[in-house]
Amino acid sequence: MEKQLINESKIQNLTFECETGNYHTFCPISCVAWLYQKIEDSFFLVIGTKTCGYFLQNALGVMIFAEPRYAMAELEEADISAHLNDYLELKRLCSVIKKDRNPSVIFWIGTCTTEIIKMDLEGIATKLETELGIPIVVARANGLDYAFTQGEDTVLAALAQSYGTKIEEKKKKEVSNTSKNLILFGSIPSPVAYELTNDLLKLGIEIAGWLPSTRYTDIPTLKEKDFVCGVNPYLSRTATTLMRRRKCQLITAPFPIGPDGTRAWLEKICQVFNLPPQGLEEKEKLNWKLLKPYLEVIEGKSVFFMGDNLLELSLARFFIKCGMIVYEVGIPYLDKRYQLSELNLLEATCLEMKTFLPIIVEKPDNYNQLDRIQDLKPDLVITGMAHANPLQSRGINTKWSVEFTFSQIHGFTNAKNILDLVLKSLKGQITVNNLNWKNYNILV
Amino acid sequence: MKLAYWMYAGPAHIGTLRIATSFKNVHAIMHAPLGDDYFNVMQSMLERKRNFTPVTASVVDRHVLARGSQEKVIQNISRKDKEENPDLVILTPTCTSSILQEDLQNFVNRASQESKADILLADVNHYRVNELQAADRTLEQVIKFYMEKFEKDKTIPQIKTSQPSVNILGPCNLTFHVQHDLAELKRLLKDLGIKVNLIVPDGLNINELKLLPQAWFNIVPYREIGCLSAVYLEKKYSMPYINTSPIGIIQTAEFIRQIQDILNSKNLNVNFEKYIDKQTRFISQSAWFSRSIDCQNLCGKTAIVFGDATHASALTKILSQEMGVKVLISGTYCKSDDEWFRSEVKNFCQEVIITEDHNLVANIISSLQPSAIFGTQMERHIGKRLNIPCGVISAPVHIQNFPLGYKPFLGYEGSNQLADLIYNSFTLGMEDHLLEIFGGHDTKEIIKVSNEEILWDTEANDQLKKIPGFVRGKVKKNVEKFAKKNNLKSITIHIMQLCKESLNT
């Protein structure tokens, strides 16, 4: 019994390809980096090996030194060979965490290793919750199944599944009320969340809350028939969980990235609540006007997404609307149902801007992509750090994709930040190219 | 299980990859889940490598978990063989893949039959060795494999070089200041009339390994990586080796005397004493510097040293022998080198610690309150927190310790660099201290008192605090300007938003 609010046409002309999956991306456990900052009363415990710890220590950079509310439960040989009891070990560590930090919730992040040795995290968590008197949420954000930002998806899906269920059991089942609440899901910085909340308020829609909120204890209760809507393109599991487990109704909309996306997102919600989308058109127009100085520089420039954080489709759509040309959209994973509206908007945008449709490549192969980049010579390649410097040295301009994950990019006022990132790269190129040395790779 | 969020030495496969990627035309294939190929990011970012890191992952995913890797690894090896034409492919297991207990050796054997390249399986246990030990072993494994192969083919030249020559074993990617150290080492050897035969693995083509035995002896500049290979070559080709690191004036002299002994044992009859004397007193500045009046201020100051065995022991000796600084604690995270380290530093510090726990190091530092710390990236941050200056002397380090300028740690120029580093760390601490005593910088800040106060409510204030420092002032000014323009007396989040929308921010 799923209800998804779809009243859109099928995707007509986009081409989807799927390659070998030999691509570079961050491990999904990296989501602790932004989630521990977002949920202020939480503690994240990553249960994994030295490899996981080393990755986090290097990827989180300076954050590590600020006594973060996250730690590794580093598995040693005795844990792997079951000489030690998982339950007792985790109890020991979580007691220490409780004593030192006293969080309202502990998230256990399962990794590849816990998958392979089949550690029963969910089972142990249920036991320990009652013993320690602290909620434990288990999310399996491992590299066997997921890429980079999908880590957040597993955490939010786990939250959506468990949050508030116990409270409901205590209360008698209320008669499902018909005043349908709207809950937004996706972790974005508080100022951005405030802005989107405010935009909805102006249209007469008061939201019941966010998943996640800045505090674990503030997450709204989810009831049957509640409306839910995502703000990030990589949250398909969370969406599915909300629909199937919590019987919520999903509003499928393009994502509020870029003025065009933000407007489409707001309009879609208005449509569901039968409200007129007042003043959105003017607002979008005004925003485009303010972006004009950027657009003059980037118009006609070509972009190639190698793909690693699942924001690629929304960004590509926004860039095309800005007058850029997108050759290829690499993406680790594409849920065509969850991203349906975004795909439709992408198609419509290409039609409107009279440009060709980009090829969408799922599970890309970086080696083949580098070949294609050499042939196409795009003005900008959006890629991970592993390829950024080598491409720069070959005279190909790059932007590090992770920056889009960590910057404020949602809503009307933040479109500027996206273009700032692009412009930094392009402007840098203009400056440096005046020097006449373009190739830093081979001595000619 | 261990509760931690920082480790001094990385996991084993990082060590293997450091060796593999340092050779020319060698490709590493990791048997690993998505996201474990973080090594490529470090290469591109920290060392600013211009080339694509020759590491590919043969991805372990759900299908592999269910059915085993089957042909996948072999296909990936063959594919790389065709694409890149490498001389050697090293199959590198990770923590994850080692639990799967797949017969990777079997894949290697089968892939060898189809590919032009040689194929090796990195032989390291991920739960017993760390990055440094793994690098040491992998280097030995590669050298051994090729020496045996060349023995079979009878392609090894049987004569020594006419001029005395050495191999330098161990310098590889992501080693602390390695390129600068190599340049300095080459200069020193050239002064002594010694030719560098090979540097292994840094930039070496694998087929050149056959020339290893024609050198007179081997040098291992860093204890952590290269010793195993030196021991192997000594056994097999009776090549003597030196693993004294020439860091600091005294150790450099010691290093040169060891070379002298080796050359004399080969009937060359050299004497480097004059050279050592001249370099120490006139060419290098650090010995004179420690006699100069300035350095008297360092006398009796306290320091704590922590790092890898090579650098921490060398720094401990320099501080206590050459500078007269009191080393309260000297420590290392190289647990496997425990005995050597203790015997090396025991006369030069008050206490030795051997630990991998950064919290313990932090607690010791904060309880002893030294005037300066010499350590890794972690100690630098501990120092920041406690307001104690810190000089970074050992990996793990971040991007600022891959400097562009010439900053060796080895040899006579290295000792100059170190003297600067040590002196500046102490004086910075001293300056801060004096400023505190005399009441800070005299900046004469002109403070404008606005006649109408604008109040920020707590929510808005919190929001403001979250804005990065370097733009916070600007944002604050803009919002207040906006408030004034609209005759508002207090600022809320809502007003901040309105201001942002008016796009003056």
Digit-coded pLDDT (tens) for B196-248: 999 999 999 999 999 999 999 999 999 999 999 999 999 999 999 999 999 99
Strand pairing report for A249-251 and A302-305: unpaired
Contact residues on chain B for A385, CB-CB shorter than 8 A: 41, 44-45
Strands of A52-112 (E only): list them. 70-74, 105-110
Q: How confident is the model at residue B442 (pLDDT cuts 50, 70, 90)?
A: low
CB neighbourhood size of B50 (10 A): 16
In A, minimum Cα distance to B101 occurs at: A116
Q: What is the predicted pLDDT for the residue at B504?
A: 46
The answer to the question of residue A5 being in a domain is: no
Q: What is the predicted pLDDT for the residue at B224?
A: 96
- Residue A164 near residue A147, CB atoms below 8 Å: no
Contact residues on chain A for B463, CB-CB shorter than 8 A: 190-191
Domain boundary among A124, A146, A168: A146
Q: What is the predicted pLDDT for the residue at A424?
A: 87
Shortest CA gap A39–chain B (Å): 15
A428 and A296, same structural domain? yes
Shortest CA gap A171–chain B (Å): 34
Cα distance between residue B327 and residue B315, in whole Å: 10
Q: What is the predicted pLDDT for the residue at A3?
A: 45
Contact criterion met (CB < 8 Å) for B35 and A389: no
Q: Average pLDDT in the B161-190 region?
A: 96
**For residue A53, what is the domain's CATH number?**
3.40.50.1980
Q: What is the predicted pLDDT for the residue at A173?
A: 46
Q: What is the predicted pLDDT for the residue at A178?
A: 52
Contact criterion met (CB < 8 Å) for A390 and B130: no
Fill in the DSSP letter of residue A219: P
Shortest CA gap B10–chain A (Å): 6
**Alpha-carbon Rg of chain B, whole angstroms?**
28
> In chain A, how many domains are there?
3
In A, minimum Cα distance to B98 occurs at: A113
The residues pairing with A113 across neighbouring beta strands, listed in sequence order, are none
Contact criterion met (CB < 8 Å) for A142 and B33: yes
Q: What is the tens place of the pLDDT at every residue in B323-356?
A: 989 999 999 999 999 999 999 999 999 999 999 9
Contact residues on chain A for B4, CB-CB shorter than 8 A: 53, 71-72, 74
Instruction: Report residue B11 as tokens.
Output: 């996991």
Q: What is the predicted pLDDT for the residue at B327?
A: 96
Cα distance between residue B117 and residue A423, in whole Å: 44
Asked if the domains at B12-133 and B455-503 fall in one CATH topology, the answer is: no
Q: What is the tens place of the pLDDT at every residue in B114-154?
A: 899 999 999 998 889 999 999 999 999 999 999 999 999 99
DSSP-assigned states of every residue in B69-138: -TTHHHHHHHHHHHHH--SEEEEEE-HHHHHHT--HHHHHHHHHHH-SSEEEE----TTT--HHHHHHHH
Q: What is the predicted pLDDT for the residue at A175?
A: 44
Contact criterion met (CB < 8 Å) for A53 and B4: yes
B429 annotated among ligand-binding-site residues: yes
Collapse the DSSP code of A137 into the 3-class scheme (helix H, G, I; strand E, B; otherwise coil) and give the result.
strand
Q: Which of B5, B6, B58, B475 has the highest number of chain A CBs within 10 A, making it the mutation to test binding with A?
A: B5
Collapse the DSSP code of B382 into the 3-class scheme (helix H, G, I; strand E, B; otherwise coil) and give the result.
helix
Closest residue to A22, CB basis, from B3, B6, B59: B59
In B, minimum Cα distance to A113 occurs at: B96
Contact criterion met (CB < 8 Å) for B57 and A22: yes
Q: What is the predicted pLDDT for the residue at B505?
A: 45
Contact criterion met (CB < 8 Å) for A386 and B37: yes
- Residue A258 near residue A318, CB atoms below 8 Å: yes
A220 and A336, same structural domain? no
In A, minimum Cα distance to B50 occurs at: A390
Domain boundary among A146, A169, A203: A146
Asked if the model's pLDDT at residue B32 lies above 60, the reply is yes
- Residue B379 near residue B390, CB atoms below 8 Å: yes
Q: How confident is the model at residue B456 (pLDDT cuts 50, 70, 90)?
A: confident
A411 in reach of chain B (CB within 8 A) = no
Shortest CA gap A368–chain B (Å): 11
A359 and A236, same structural domain? no
A408 and A315, same structural domain? yes
The answer to the question of residue A215 being in a domain is: yes
Task: Please list the rounded mean pLDDT of every run of 10 residues in chain A (444 residues).
Answer: 48 84 92 92 94 88 76 91 91 94 95 93 94 95 93 95 67 52 94 94 92 90 91 96 93 96 96 93 94 93 95 97 96 94 95 94 95 95 92 91 92 94 82 72 72
Contact residues on chain B for A50, CB-CB shorter than 8 A: 7, 10-12, 95, 126, 130
A296 and A266, same structural domain? no
A395 in reach of chain B (CB within 8 A) = no
Contact residues on chain B for A190, CB-CB shorter than 8 A: 463, 466
Reported pTM: 0.90
- Residue B408 near residue B414, CB atoms below 8 Å: yes
In B, minimum Cα distance to A148 occurs at: B35
Lowest mean pLDDT among A332-346, B372-386, B487-501: B487-501
Closest residue to B45, CB basis, from A75, A84, A385: A385
- Higher per-residue pLDDT: B131 or B483: B131
Shortest CA gap B2–chain A (Å): 5
Shortest CA gap A420–chain B (Å): 14
Contact criterion met (CB < 8 Å) for A50 and B61: no
The answer to the question of residue A284 being in a domain is: no
Element (H, E) at B455: strand B455-456
Q: What is the predicted pLDDT for the residue at B398?
A: 87
A75 in reach of chain B (CB within 8 A) = yes
Q: Which of A144, A400, A405, A417 has the highest number of chain B CBs within 10 A, making it the mutation to test binding with B?
A: A144
The answer to the question of residue A21 being in a domain is: no
The answer to the question of residue A7 being in a domain is: no
Collapse the DSSP code of B388 into the 3-class scheme (helix H, G, I; strand E, B; otherwise coil) and give the result.
coil
Contact criterion met (CB < 8 Å) for B34 and A53: no
Pick among 3.40.50.12780, 3.40.50.300, 3.40.50.1980, 3.30.365.10: CATH of B288-437:
3.40.50.1980
A300 and A252, same structural domain? no
Cα distance between residue A419 and residue B370, in whole Å: 48
Contact residues on chain B for A146, CB-CB shorter than 8 A: 34
Q: Exactly one of B61, B261, B294, B338 is catalytic; name it.
A: B294
Q: What is the predicted pLDDT for the residue at B143?
A: 97
Q: Which of B41, B381, B402 has the highest number of chain A CBs within 10 A, making it the mutation to test binding with A?
A: B41
A148 in reach of chain B (CB within 8 A) = yes
Contact criterion met (CB < 8 Å) for A112 and B11: no
Tell me the domain boundaries of chain B: 12-133, 288-437, 455-503
The answer to the question of residue A424 being in a domain is: yes
Structural domain range at position A55 = 28-146
Element (H, E) at B304: strand B302-307
Contact criterion met (CB < 8 Å) for A389 and B44: yes
Written out in words, the top-level CATH class of the domain with range B455-503 is mainly alpha
Contact criterion met (CB < 8 Å) for B38 and A59: yes
**Domain spanning B12-133, CATH architecture:** 3-Layer(aba) Sandwich (3.40)
Q: Is B153 a catalytic residue?
A: no
Collapse the DSSP code of A436 into the 3-class scheme (helix H, G, I; strand E, B; otherwise coil) and give the result.
coil
Fill in the DSSP letter of residue A257: B
Shortest CA gap A45–chain B (Å): 9
Pick from A396, A402, A334: nearest CA to A363: A334
In B, minimum Cα distance to A83 occurs at: B1
Contact criterion met (CB < 8 Å) for B51 and A93: no
Closest residue to B4, CB basis, from A24, A72, A441: A72
- Residue B283 near residue B219, CB atoms below 8 Å: no
Q: What is the predicted pLDDT for the residue at A238?
A: 96
Contact residues on chain A for B381, CB-CB shorter than 8 A: 65
CB neighbourhood size of A276 (10 A): 11
